[in-house]
């Protein structure tokens, strides 16, 4: 009898694992499987609960996870680090990082110790609530205790510092990494370069770009697109050309983002002919234009009063099966109203 019950549990756990891994599991089915699991006797292992929590979290149902966790706790199910980590993540996503820290207390009471992934989640939660000082203090405590911070932890810190307007501290942390064993990767450099560009510190971003190449770190498409976007915004077209050549020579292909950045800037500067030349170049490079590409061109042409050219591009876009979005229609309506054709706008 006992062996039969264990077989049932084993089959159930396999079923949950397969549904979570391969199935398009919705919230109702996940909740149903959870209810089945918590009513089974003997109870299944913690793994199906964790797998279901993972799915429910991906569906952004954070409060649901917390409710289910409470029902598990009342059934005296023993949690592991993954369970606690998922719960902490839910609290952090909901902007309740203090509750996440309370869960850390439960981890210690259970005879476990939080790992670097859980501590990284708490760092994200602190940055989400703009508690920069608390995040820095926690990070310092983590390193002082002796946790081996991984790339994700460092990237969380750099991203958090950059997004909260503390790029100088992010650069300092990056320099500390360069002196230590864990060297910064391209994702960390990308976050800093992007932040410098958004703060309009173009020369600093350019210097960092050159420095990372000297350090042997290879820029990727995101690095090039960021730096190209930065120099485009200042009309530094010689620099744009230089970065595009470097990008191609390094083996990275210009993607839709690269073309859209350049086309949009050219159109805003009134250089629609050059922008249309880039549109033609896109097809030779195997890059298909999207609604952003056409919207930029249509906007540029409308601003120059070239209504017929704008209309042709709109028709071309529709012919390619690209659906206009709200921004495209706003551009056209604005242009038509300015031309005095209000009836056509309606």
Q: Is residue 90 part of a domain?
A: no
**Within its chain, how far is the Cα of 342 from the centroid?**
41
Task: Specify the pLDDT at position 12.
Answer: 83
Residue 13: CB atoms within 10 Å: 17
Residues 234-244: tens digit of each pLDDT: 888 999 999 99
Are 208 and 261 in a shared domain? no
pLDDT value at 77 more than 60: yes
Q: Is residue 38 part of a domain?
A: no
pLDDT value at 195 more than 70: yes
pLDDT value at 344 more than 60: no
Are 198 and 214 in a shared domain? yes
Mean pLDDT of 318-336: 87
Domain extent, residue 266, equals: 255-346
Q: Which of 223, 252, 281 is the last residue of a domain?
A: 252
Measured distance between the N- and C-terminal CA atoms of the chain, rounded to whole angstroms: 75
Are 343 and 261 in a shared domain? yes
Task: Measure the CA dihedral 148/153/155/160, to 10°.
Answer: -140
* Share in percent of the chain as helix, strand, coil (round to 5): 75, 0, 25
User: Scanning the structure block, which residue is given the tokens 């002196």?
Assistant: 179
Q: Which of 236, 184, 246 shows the shortest CA–CA distance to 210?
A: 246
Higher pLDDT, 208 or 337: 208
Task: Specify the pLDDT at position 345.
Answer: 44
Are 209 and 245 in a shared domain? yes
Mean pLDDT of 282-291: 90
Mean pLDDT of 180-198: 92
Burial degree of 46 (CB within 10 A; 0-12, 13-18, 19+): middle
- Inter-residue contact 224 to 212 (CB < 8 Å): no
Are 237 and 288 in a shared domain? no
Q: Is residue 268 part of a domain?
A: yes
Q: Is residue 333 part of a domain?
A: yes
The CATH number that applies at residue 239 is 1.25.40.10
Are 240 and 282 in a shared domain? no
Residues 94-145: tens digit of each pLDDT: 999 999 999 999 999 999 999 999 999 999 999 999 999 999 999 999 999 8
Task: Specify the pLDDT at position 1.
Answer: 45
Task: Specify the pLDDT at position 256.
Answer: 95
Give buried/exposed letters for 245-275 (b at 16+ CB in 10 A, else e). Answer: ebbeeeebebeebbbbbbbbbbbbeebbeeb
Mean pLDDT of 40-56: 89
pLDDT value at 17 more than 90: no
Q: Is residue 270 part of a domain?
A: yes
Q: Which of 286, 306, 288 shows the shortest CA–CA distance to 298?
A: 306
Ranking 142-151, 200-209, 210-219 by mean pLDDT, the lowest is 142-151
Mean pLDDT of 175-182: 86
pLDDT value at 346 more than 80: no
Are 300 and 243 in a shared domain? no
Q: Which of 226, 252, 278 is the last residue of a domain?
A: 252
Higher pLDDT, 157 or 148: 157
Mean pLDDT of 177-198: 92
Are 342 and 289 in a shared domain? yes
Task: Specify the pLDDT at position 341.
Answer: 55
Are 195 and 240 in a shared domain? yes
The total number of residues shown for the chain amounts to 346
Q: Is residue 27 part of a domain?
A: no
Ranking 7-21, 54-68, 103-117, 208-222 by mean pLDDT, the lowest is 7-21
Are 260 and 248 in a shared domain? no
Are 341 and 314 in a shared domain? yes
Higher pLDDT, 126 or 20: 126
Residue 244: CB atoms within 10 Å: 15
Split into its structural domains, the chain has a count of: 2
Residues 238-279: tens digit of each pLDDT: 999 999 999 988 888 899 999 999 999 999 999 999 999 999
Are 285 and 318 in a shared domain? yes
What rounded mean pLDDT belongs to the chain? Answer: 89
Q: Which of 208, 229, 252 is the last residue of a domain?
A: 252
Provide the pLDDT confidence category of residue 291 given band limits of 50, 70 and 90. Answer: very high
pLDDT value at 28 more than 80: yes
Q: Is residue 70 part of a domain?
A: no
């Amino acid at each position: 009898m006992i062996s039969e019950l264990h077989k049932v549990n084993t089959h159930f756990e396999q079923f949950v694992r397969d549904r979570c891994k391969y199935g398009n599991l919705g919230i109702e089915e996940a909740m149903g499987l959870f209810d089945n699991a918590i009513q089974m006797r003997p109870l299944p292992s913690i793994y199906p609960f964790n797998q279901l929590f993972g799915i429910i979290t991906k569906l952004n149902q954070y409060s649901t996870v917390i409710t289910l966790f409470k029902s598990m706790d009342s059934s005296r199910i023993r949690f592991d680090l993954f369970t606690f980590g998922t719960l902490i993540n839910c609290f952090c996503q909901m902007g309740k990082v203090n509750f996440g820290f309370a869960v850390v207390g439960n981890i210690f009471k259970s005879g476990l110790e939080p790992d670097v992934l859980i501590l990284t989640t708490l760092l994200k939660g602190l940055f989400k609530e703009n508690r920069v000082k608390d995040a820095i203090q926690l990070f310092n405590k983590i390193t002082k205790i002796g946790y081996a911070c991984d790339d994700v932890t460092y990237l969380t810190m750099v991203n958090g510092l950059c997004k909260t307007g503390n790029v100088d501290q992010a650069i300092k942390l990056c320099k500390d990494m360069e002196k230590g064993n864990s060297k910064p990767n391209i994702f960390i450099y990308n976050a800093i370069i992007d932040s410098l560009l958004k703060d309009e510190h173009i020369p600093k971003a350019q210097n960092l770009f050159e420095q990372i190449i000297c350090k042997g770190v290879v820029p990727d498409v995101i690095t090039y697109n960021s730096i190209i976007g930065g120099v485009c915004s200042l009309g530094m077209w010689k620099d744009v050309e230089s970065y595009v050549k470097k990008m191609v020579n390094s083996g990275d292909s210009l993607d839709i983002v690269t073309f859209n950045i350049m086309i949009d800037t050219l159109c805003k500067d009134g250089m629609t002919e050059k922008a249309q030349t880039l549109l033609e170049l896109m097809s030779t490079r195997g890059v298909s234009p999207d609604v952003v590409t056409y919207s930029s061109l249509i906007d540029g042409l409308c601003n120059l009063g070239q209504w017929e050219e704008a209309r042709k591009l709109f028709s071309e876009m529709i012919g390619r099966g690209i659906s206009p979005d709200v921004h495209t229609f706003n551009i056209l309506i604005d242009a038509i109203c300015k031309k005095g054709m209000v009836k056509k706008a309606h």
